[in-house]
């Protein structure tokens, strides 16, 4: 898995992770965020390595299905591009509004 695939998975988890079970989310976080091996995760959860691989695969597919239907991540990326364009403008009022949009996007 290359860095772009890994980053995409982390973004999917950020957006749709709460829709997974606690068990699925814990395993994905250990794998993607904490960079644990499947063997380490298996030992932590007292399950087989193949069970970990299956959970990761099924959970990731589930996250992709959510994105394919809802497009939340895609829309957020497009909004970020627009916000950056607005922030680059000279007009202070536009910059202020773009900053407010960015704060809203980040949940601040």
Q: Return the domain boundaries, the chain.
A: 3-70, 73-106
In three-state secondary structure terms, 68 is helix
CATH code, residues 3-70: 1.10.10.10
Amino acid 27: pLDDT: 98
Per-residue pLDDT of the chain (108 residues; tens, 9 = 90+): 688 889 999 999 999 999 999 999 999 999 999 999 999 999 999 999 999 999 999 999 999 999 999 999 999 888 888 888 888 888 888 888 888 888 887 775
For tokens 């990761």, the residue is 56
Cα–Cα distance measured from residue 98 to residue 89, given in angstroms and rounded to the nearest whole number: 10
Cα–Cα distance measured from residue 17 to residue 86, given in angstroms and rounded to the nearest whole number: 30
């Amino acid at each position: 898995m290359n860095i772009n695939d890994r980053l995409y998975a982390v973004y999917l988890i950020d957006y749709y992770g709460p829709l997974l079970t606690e068990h699925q989310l814990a395993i994905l976080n250990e794998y993607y965020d904490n960079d644990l091996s499947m063997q380490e995760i298996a030992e932590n959860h007292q399950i087989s390595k193949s069970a970990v691989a299956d959970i990761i695969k099924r959970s990731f597919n589930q996250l992709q299905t959510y994105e394919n239907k809802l497009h939340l991540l895609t829309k957020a990326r497009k909004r970020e591009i627009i916000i950056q364009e607005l922030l680059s403008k000279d007009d202070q009022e536009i910059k202020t509004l773009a900053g407010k949009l960015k704060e809203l996007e980040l949940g601040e």
